[in-house]
Homo-oligomer: A and B are copies of this chain.
Amino acid sequence: MDSKVEFLFLNEEDMIKAGVLDADRAVDTIGEVITLLSEGDYLMGGRAHNDHGVQLIFPEKSDIPNFPLADSADRRFMAMPAYLGGRFHMCGEKWYGSNGRNSHKGLPRSILMATLNDVETGQPLAYMSANLLSAMRTGAMPGLTAMYLARKDSRVLTILGAGVIGRTSLMAIMAKFPDLEVLKIKGSSKTSHTAHELADYARENYKSLKEIIICDTLEEAVRDADIIAEAVSVEPRKWPVIDPAWVKPGCTIISSGTMDMDLEFVRDHVTKVVDNIQMYEEYVNVYQEWDEDGNRISLGTPGIHFVNMVTDGWIEKSEIRHLGNIMRGLEPGRTSDDEIFLVSLGGMPILDVGWGYECYQRALREGIGTKLKLWDMPYMR
C-alpha cells in the first residue's frame, strides 16, 4: 500500500520535447478521440455528459469597485473536465484564463494548463502547460475534418484569422494535404503583422506551396478556395460573414472560431456537420441571447445555428451529420464533387485529454519533465 502521490510537471519547453508540435500525429490522435466520441466512450461535464466546460462569465458592468468586466476580447475563465476511454482511459481537465489585453504584455491571449488524472484514484498524473497542447488539438480538428470531407484534389487553402489557431490549422491541414498549391491568408488587415508572420512560416515550412497570398478582402480569400479553415477570434458581431456567391462549389468550410453565413443558403445548399451536436444544444441553453424584438442574436457558431434550425422546424435533426459518424461509415461523407460543407467545431476537453495523454506518455518514456511530490503520506484521510 503506497500512499505517496507524485505527478509530472511539463512546462512549455518540455511539451515541445514531448512532441506537442507534431501536427501529423496530433491529427491521427484526434481522429482516435473523435471515433471514441462517436462510440460514446467518453464523458464530459454535467447531467447530459456533454458540457464544453463551466465558465466564469464577467459582467458588462458592475457597481462594485475593481470588479473584473467583460471589457476586452475573450475575457473569461473556463474549466473543462473530461473522461476519455479506449486505450487512453484517462480523466483530465483544462483550466484557463483569457484576456485580449494580454497581447500588449507579450503574453498569449489565453494561458492554459491541463491536468491528467488517474481514472480510479483521481490523483493528478501530469500538470502541463497547455497553450501548445490546446492550439495543436484545436488545429488538428480542421486537419481531420479536411481529410474526411475536402475534395481529394483540393488545391487552394484559405485560412481566415491569422492567430495561433490559424497557424495550427495550417500545420494540420498541410500535414494531410502536402500537395496544396495555393495558400490564402486573411488577417485583420492586409498589413496585419500576424498574417505576414503566418505567410513567412508557411513559406519556410511548406515548399510545395506555389503561391502564398495575403488577402485584402474576405471575398478575395473565399473565392476559389477548396478548403476554408476559419479561426477568427474577435469581438461579438465583428466576425467574417461569408457571402454564398463567393463560395466555390465543392468547398469545405470549417469553422473553429466565429463566422456567419446566410442561414437560408446554409439550410438549402450546404451539408451541415458538427463535432458534437449535444455540446451546441448545451451552448444554446447557456449562451443564447435575444435582441429587444425577441430575435436570436447570432453567436457566430454554425453549430448553434444548426440547433436553432432544428428547433424552428427548418431542418430535421438527422440532417446534421457528425464527423465521428462519418469516420465510422455510419453517416455519408462527401457524395458529390460540388457538395459544399459547413463544419462547426466547438472544442472539447476530450481532445485535450487525448493529445495530452500522448505527450505525457512520450515524456514518461523519454524522462522529460519535473517529478513533483504531493505527499509521502497524506496528513488526513
Task: Please give the residue numbers on chain A whose beta carbons come within 8 Å of chain B beta carbons, in ascending order.
Answer: 1-3, 5, 9, 11-13, 16, 39-41, 43-47, 49, 51, 53-58, 64, 66-68, 77-83, 85, 89, 91, 93, 95-99, 101-103, 105-111, 113, 115, 117-124, 127, 129, 131-132, 135, 164, 167, 286-287, 370, 372-375, 377-381
Q: B107, A5: Cβ atoms under 8 Å?
A: yes
Which residue of chain B lies nearest to A76 when distances are taken between CB atoms in the complex? Answer: B122
Distance, CA A184 to CA B373, complexed state (A) = 37
**Which of B102, B103, B109, B117 contacts A97, CB < 8 Å?**
B117
Distance, CA A131 to CA B39, complexed state (A) = 35
Which residue of chain B lies nearest to A44 when distances are taken between CB atoms in the complex? Answer: B56
A94 to chain B minimum Cβ distance, whole angstroms, is 9
**Which of B45, B46, B81, B89 contacts A66, CB < 8 Å?**
B89
Contacts of A121 in B (CB 8 A): 97, 99, 102, 105, 107, 111
Copy number in the complex reads 2
Which residue of chain B lies nearest to A72 when distances are taken between CB atoms in the complex? Answer: B120
Q: A131, B101: Cβ atoms under 8 Å?
A: no
What 6 additional pairs, Cβ within 8 angstroms, besides A77-B91, A108-B378, A135-B380? A5-B107, A39-B64, A46-B286, A66-B85, A81-B95, A96-B122
Contacts of A67 in B (CB 8 A): 41, 85
Chain A to chain B contacts (Cβ below 8 Å), 15 pairs: A1-B105, A3-B106, A11-B374, A12-B379, A46-B54, A46-B57, A53-B79, A54-B79, A68-B120, A79-B80, A81-B95, A95-B115, A106-B377, A111-B374, A131-B380
Distance, CA A12 to CA B378, complexed state (A) = 8
Distance, CA A286 to CA B102, complexed state (A) = 35
Q: B51, A54: Cβ atoms under 8 Å?
A: yes
Which residue of chain B lies nearest to A45 when distances are taken between CB atoms in the complex? Answer: B54
Q: A82, B56: Cβ atoms under 8 Å?
A: yes
A117 to chain B minimum Cβ distance, whole angstroms, is 5
Which residue of chain B lies nearest to A168 when distances are taken between CB atoms in the complex? Answer: B380
Distance, CA A12 to CA B380, complexed state (A) = 10
Contacts of A374 in B (CB 8 A): 11-12, 111, 129
Q: Which of A105, A164, A286, A375 has the most CB of B within 10 A?
A: A375
**Which of B46, B49, B56, B378 contacts A91, CB < 8 Å?**
B56
Contacts of A85 in B (CB 8 A): 64, 66-67
Q: A122, B93: Cβ atoms under 8 Å?
A: no
A376 to chain B minimum Cβ distance, whole angstroms, is 9
Which residue of chain B lies nearest to A380 when distances are taken between CB atoms in the complex? Answer: B164
